[in-house]
Amino acid sequence: MRPRMPPPKRQELTTHLGSPAVEDYLEQIHNLIGQKGYARVVDIAANLKISQASVTNMIQRMDTDGLVVYERYRGVVLTEEGRRVGEEIARRHEVLTRLLAGFGLDPQTVHQDVEGMEHHISRATLEVLTLLMEELEGNPKLLAKLRQRMSMPAAS
Ligand code: ZN
């Protein structure tokens, strides 16, 4: 069994972290830094499937907003605030993914749906889903029962 996630802190239980677009960028930058140690505009553009010019524009705005520091040759670095928000986005992504994957949905569906949902749920709803995920992961019998009741065949 996976370790339980730490309970969300009280002050996190407000609403969204930023616009969906800003959240997408922070998620990509956070992931790239986690994978490669740095985030370049060219990689962010490729992952988000948009032009490098649009990425540069947005990154400059996020720099002004204090979320990232943009250096033309070093790439994009997260500020402390940017890292905090990036980590929260990653946690939300993981909760939703684990909840859906627990039901055996195919990974591509899970990924698509998580990307579609994650920027539109409040922290209060995230807390509900986190509790559900933890209880289901700790109760394989109940999960098996629910999986049996699913009308669409699960992937595994
Ligand atoms: Zn995501």
Q: From the CA of 27, how far away is ligand 1's center (Å)?
A: 7
- Domains of the chain as residue ranges with CATH: 20-78 (1.10.10.10), 84-149 (1.10.60.10)
pLDDT value of position 95: 96
Q: From the CA of 20, how far away is ligand 1's center (Å)?
A: 11
Q: From the CA of 92, how far away is ligand 1's center (Å)?
A: 8
Please give the average pLDDT of every successive group of 10 residues along the chain, which has 156 residues. 57 52 92 93 93 94 94 89 93 95 95 91 92 96 94 70
What are the two backbone dihedrals, phi and then psi, of residue 148, each rounded to the nearest 5 degrees? -65, -30
Radius of gyration of the chain, Cα coordinates, nearest whole angstrom: 17
pLDDT value of position 14: 36
pLDDT value of position 71: 86
Reduced to 3 states (helix: H, G, I; strand: E, B; else coil), residue 69 is strand
pLDDT value of position 19: 73
pLDDT value of position 21: 85
pLDDT value of position 120: 86
pLDDT value of position 58: 94
- Rounded CA-CA distance 5/143 in Å is 18
Q: From the CA of 115, how far away is ligand 1's center (Å)?
A: 5
